[in-house]
């Protein structure tokens, strides 16, 4: 897997074309403007360009919309001690931090007009001066910008310099919205599930075909960022559970309070299951039968419950046994199949079915 594939997840036509464009422009040192809707992964595209370029310096990012206008110049170019109130020591700016590397300016459309003039000068001669200093510093920095705004409209509105736009717009890259690459949604869901379960001690949910269809049919106004949010909800609401289309629409895309009942019901099912096969709870613990429940033990279920979601229960039991067998055999499907008294091909089909 290439560095581009690690950053841009998916195999849809728009994703493949985006990866090709990244590969084409990466080797150049020219500026890039990345256009795309909020949450579509513009910074990941910038990181992929930097990684693929193999520039020796760092990738440094600055969100122009997040810095107060009176401070952004000092953030970019650094400042000398005493240059302004609060400048207690000489400080390196983002440009110097990115020397020999890449400076990513997110939301470039929000950069103050005066700072745009200084940025244009840097693009033309690669020289900066700290705030409060007349000393010039020669740098080798590649500039990558991103915006969800139409910069041409900003030029017409006299809030963005036309000459700066021309200088930046050497390699324009458009990042498609997630709605344009819905085939990538299963890959993205799986990617975020792997990331979260790798860093957190939690069991992943499994999305059936109806759940995947519901995710693909959704418009995704928040783009990839929203997918990550949905995956995090699924880990909280449905750990180690099969998720269907109704669950997606009702509990993940919009959080219905009924999810509390759903998760409590799931916990109660397993709590009841733990009690099956045990003797009277009034008996002493040392006299208690701790052997696994027998099929006839399940008849006791209706002594305390009016109903049971049989398909969900059997599915969850099967998933638990398969995961445990794979874990105790270090992922060896042949040995796990022997423990489960299944054909290896049958086990592999079930692993695929449950996305284990």
Strand order, beta sheet including 171-174: 59-63, 102-106, 142-147, 32-35, 171-174
**For a pLDDT cut of 90, what percent of the chain falls above it?**
54
Distance of alpha carbon 244 from alpha carbon 208, whole angstroms: 6
Could you tell me the two tokens for 249?
Answer: 């629409």
- pLDDT for the residue numbered 330: 85
Tens-place pLDDT, residues 92-116:
899 999 999 999 999 999 999 999 9
CATH class of 3-176: alpha beta
- CATH hierarchy code of domain 180-353: 1.10.8.60
Q: Model confidence at 63, in pLDDT bands (50, 70, 90)?
A: very high
Looking at beta carbons, which pairs linking 342-350 to residues 24 or more positions away fall under 8 Å?
Answer: 347/322, 350/318, 350/322
Tell me what the pLDDT averaged over the chain comes to. 85
Among the listed residues 169, 134, 137, the one whose alpha carbon sits nearest the alpha carbon of residue 151: 169
pTM of the model: 0.72
- pLDDT for the residue numbered 17: 96
- The answer, yes or no, to whether residue 266 has pLDDT greater than 70, is no
Tens-place pLDDT, residues 295-334:
666 777 676 666 777 777 787 788 888 888 888 888 888 8
- pLDDT for the residue numbered 355: 73
- The answer, yes or no, to whether residue 281 has pLDDT greater than 50, is no
What is the dihedral angle through the alpha carbons of 110, 113, 118, 123, rounded to the nearest 10 degrees?
60
- Least reliable range by pLDDT among 90-94, 267-271, 340-344: 267-271
> Tokens 């869901």 correspond to what residue?
189
Q: Where are the domains of the chain?
A: 3-176, 180-353
3-class SS string, the chain: CCHHHHHCCCCCHHHHHHHHHHHHHHCCCCCEEEECCCCCCHHHHHHHHHHHHCCCCCEEEEECCCCCCCCHHHHHHCECCCCCCCCCCCECCHHHHCCCCEEEEECHHHCCHHHHHHHHHHHHHCEECCECCCCCEECCCEEEEEECCCHHHHHHCCCCCHHHHHHHCCEEEECCCHHHHHHHHHHHHHHHHHHHHHHCCCCCCEECHHHHHHHHHCCCCCHHHHHHHHHHHHHHHCCCCEECHHHHHHHHCCCCCHHHHHHHHHHHHHHHHHHCCCCCCCCCHHHCCCCCCCHHHHHHHHHHCCCCCHHHHHHHHHHHHHHHHHHHCCCCHHHHHHHCCCCHHHHHHHHHHCCC
142 bridge partner residues: 102
- Least reliable range by pLDDT among 120-124, 168-172, 200-204: 200-204
> Tokens 């910038």 correspond to what residue?
46
């Amino acid at each position: 897997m290439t560095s581009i594939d690690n950053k841009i997840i998916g195999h849809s036509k728009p994703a493949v074309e985006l990866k090709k464009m990244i590969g084409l422009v990466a080797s150049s040192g020219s500026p890039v403007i990345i256009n795309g809707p909020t949450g579509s992964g513009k910074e990941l595209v910038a990181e992929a360009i930097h990684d693929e370029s193999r520039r020796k310096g760092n990738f440094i990012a600055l969100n122009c919309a997040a810095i107060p206008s009176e401070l952004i110049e000092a953030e970019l170019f650094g400042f000398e001690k005493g240059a302004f109130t609060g400048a207690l020591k000489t400080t390196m700016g983002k440009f110097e931090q990115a020397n020999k590397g890449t400076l990513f300016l997110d939301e470039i459309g929000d950069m103050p007009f005066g700072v745009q003039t200084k940025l244009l000068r840097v693009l033309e001669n690669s020289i900066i001066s700290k705030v409060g200093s007349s000393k010039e510093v020669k740098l080798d920095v590649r500039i990558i910008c991103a915006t969800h705004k139409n910069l041409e409209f900003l030029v017409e509105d006299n809030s963005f310099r036309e000459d700066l736009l021309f200088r930046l717009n050497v390699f324009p890259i458009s990042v498609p919205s997630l709605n344009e690459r819905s085939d990538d949604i299963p890959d993205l869901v799986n990617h975020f599930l792997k990331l979260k379960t790798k860093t957190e001690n939690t069991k992943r949910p499994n999305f059936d075909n109806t759940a995947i269809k519901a995710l693909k049919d959704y418009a995704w106004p928040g783009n990839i960022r929203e997918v990550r949010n949905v995956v995090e909800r699924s880990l909280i609401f449905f750990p180690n559970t099969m998720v269907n289309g109704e669950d997606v629409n009702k509990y993940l895309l919009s959080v219905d309070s009924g999810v509390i009942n759903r998760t409590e019901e799931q916990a109660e099912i397993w709590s009841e299951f733990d009690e099956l096969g045990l003797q009277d709870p009034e008996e002493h613990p040392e006299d208690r039968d701790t052997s696994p429940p027998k099929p006839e033990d399940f008849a006791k279920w209706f002594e305390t419950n009016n109903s049971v979601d049989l398909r969900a229960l059997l599915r969850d039991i099967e998933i638990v046994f398969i995961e445990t067998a794979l874990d105790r055999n270090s992922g060896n499907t042949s040995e796990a199949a022997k423990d489960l008294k299944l054909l290896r091909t049958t086990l592999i089909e079930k692993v695929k079915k449950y996305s284990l």
